[in-house]
Structure 1
Amino acid sequence: MTKFDMGAAWDDTLLLLKSHTALIVTIAGVFFFLPALAFAWFGPVPVEPPAGADFDQLMTAFRESFRQMIPGQIVVALCTMVGTVAILRLWLARTGVSVGEALTFGFMLFPTMLAVQILSGIAIGIGVILLIVPGLYLVGRLALVAPAIADRAIYNPIEAIRTSWELTRNNGWAIFFFLLLVGLVIFIVALIVGGVLSVVAGSGPGFGRMVGGVVEAAFGAIGSLFSIAVAAAAYRQLALRSASDVFQ
């Protein structure tokens, strides 16, 4: 069984991000950035709890904000699925693939991705309920589902999950911590930039919300791109099956 190498995976992540740059940025802009920006600008404003609110009032405001945001977040997530498969197809194809072909492929595999996300979400949710740790472990074990779908054109969601489970055997925690480290770095940078801009532009309605929306959508798109590239790099490292199965 191949041992996951974080250093090699990070080098390959950067290599992937540098390949097909214009095409990848275009797809990410349309399917990651623009939907998130539209939601940030035109979506519901978080419910503010009253001054001096107690715990119950805080939780009520949180639940109401969450309820209002669910429809928009679902739309953003659905757009992200199509873009994710299209980008992975460009990165993982062993022969040339055009943007049109990658997008067509992304739409064709959309039902599979949706089913996989639902099944994975249920499994990870149950794992989190069971003292959190099992859920975190499942994140690592299921991290290669999307790359496997994009590379092998797997239409059966159960088969896609099984493929990721087998590829990540004995490497689940290593992949999870790799994803966590990359995500933390992007999150910290986003907090710093967002904090600086909120001081300069303000955080209220109008100009402040517009600037904040751009920053939020931009870092969301960047974070998604890095997460996809990390998963693709891990897949490329663990899925090499024969001499003829080399990724270009």
Structure 2
Amino acid sequence: MQFDSNLAWNEAVARVRANRDVLMALAGVFFLLPALLSSVFLADIQQQMMELAQDSEGLEALISANLGTILAFGIGGMLVQFVGYLAATVILGVGGRPSVGEAISVALRAVPTLIGATLLYIVGITLVSFVLGLLVALGSLVAGTAGASLGGVVMLIGLFGVSIWSAVRLSLLVPVIVREGLANPVAAMRRSWELTGGHTPRLLGFYALLMLGYLAISFMVSLLLITPLSLVFGAGAVTNFLAGVVAGLIGAVSNVLLVAVLVRVHAQLSHATPDGQASLFD
């Protein structure tokens, strides 16, 4: 079947509205809270990184000194969001009216699969980067400095293209894990790859429009809210916290909508029943 982006969007919005009370609780814990914690505890580090943007040695020293904190919040926040994505998919993509507790329970069981698939994706991109870098190195031996410069540009463009293309092909990973119950990371990645085959250009255009909409809304909110707050309160903890609240709210809503969209895209491309695995909670 031909992918219908309008249908996917309309169904996603309808699903979010129908489950907004439960989704608000999930979004607050798994999307908003991590953003707020990061904005509070990493505000000073982020400020120092901005000030040292032109000082590579100072920036490197700052990152080295705070590497543990940065990794803790980065990896911890990612894992918390993984649970949020999976739990929201349970709410939006299966039947039986699961509770928040049931959704989180299913999500926790599925987290290892999502982690495994993510690590495999990172390894794959790293290998592609290594191969492209090797080709550039070989080209520089043949064509000299000019060839190396041109090869470096080609490498960056190629790596960017491969990353975007593969991300689109694997975009249905979370719905596949939850709605189809695939616990094997390789099988889940293969299934997403299979479902998105033949629809990549349309999906890429759809996702790009969603990203542009998110960026436009973020820019307008920042212009209308965060900038006036910084003028009123000045640069400091209060402004950083309020900016974190605003950014966290935008991110929480966007993540919930993204999950809903991916659930409906999966339903279309897999010809699934409207409620997916209706037997999970019946």
TM surpasses 0.5? yes
Equivalent residue, structure 2, for 1:119: 120
Deviation of 1:33 (Å): 0.5
Q: 1:195 to 1:61 in 2, by over 3 A?
A: farther
Residue 260 of structure 2: which of 229, 238, 245 is its match? Answer: 229
3-state SS of 1:97 partner: coil
Cα deviation, residue 69, structure 1:
3.2
Query: Aligned to 1:109, what secondary structure does the other structure show?
Result: helix
Quickly say closer, same or farther: Cα 1:199–1:59, change in 2 above 3 A.
farther
Q: Distance in 2 between matches of 1:81 and 1:18?
A: 22
1:157 equivalenced with 2:156 (yes/no): no
The answer for the alignment partner of 2:241 in structure 1 is 210
**One-letter identity of the residue aligned with 2:6:** G
Task: List aligned pairs for 1:39-78, cutoff 5 A.
Answer: 39-45=38-44, 46=46, 47-48=48-49, 54=54, 57=55, 61=59, 64=62, 67=67, 69-78=70-79
Q: Say if 2:232 is the partner of 1:166.
A: no
Cα contact 1:125–1:135 (8 A) shared by 2: no
- Provide the rounded CA distance (Å) in 1 between the counterparts of 2:193 and 2:57: 37
Aligned-residue offset at 1:138:
0.9
**Judging changes above 3 Å, is the alpha-carbon distance between structure 1 residues 118 and 173 closer, same or farther for their aligned structure 2 residues?**
farther
Maintained 8 Å contact 1:141/1:168: yes
User: Hey, what does 1:24 align to over in structure 2?
Assistant: 23
Residue 214 of structure 1 aligns with an amino acid whose one-letter code is V
Cα separation, 1, equivalents of 2:70 and 2:95: 40
Unaligned runs of 5+ in 1: none
Query: Are the counterparts in 1 of residues 173 and 192 from structure 2 also a CA contact under 8 Å?
Result: yes
Pick closer, same or farther for the CA change 1:207–1:50 going to 2, 3 Å.
closer
Mapped to 1, the partners of 2:42 and 2:17 lie a distance apart of 33
Normalized per residue, which structure has more helix? 2
Q: Which residue of 1 aligns with 2:9?
A: 10
Change in CA separation of 1:12 and 1:63 when aligned onto 2, cut-off 3 Å: farther
Residue deviations 1:116-143, cap 9 Å, x none?
A: 1222234356667534212111111101
Q: CA deviation at 1:151?
A: 0.6
Cα distance in 2, alignment partners of residues 48 and 135 from structure 1: 27
The aligned amino acid for 1:225 is: V
Q: Match of 2:99?
A: 98
Paired residues of 1:49 and 1:58 also in contact (CA < 8 A)? no
TM-score w.r.t. the length of structure 1 is: 0.87
Indicate the residue corresponding to 1:196 in structure 2. 224
How many positions carry a matched residue from both structures? 241
Distance in structure 1 (CA, Å) of the matches to 2:252 and 2:60:
25
Counterpart code for 1:210: F
Cα deviation, residue 148, structure 1: 0.7
Q: CA RMSD in A?
A: 2.5
Q: Percent identity?
A: 24
Conservation of the 8 A alpha-carbon contact between 2:49 and 2:62 = no
Structure 2 counterpart of 1:9, which letter?
A
Give the conservation status (yes or no) of the 8 Å contact 1:145–1:161.
yes
- Alpha-carbon shift at residue 89 of structure 1 (Å): 0.9
SS in 2 for 1:132: helix
Q: Which runs of 5+ in 2 are unaligned?
A: 130-155, 277-282
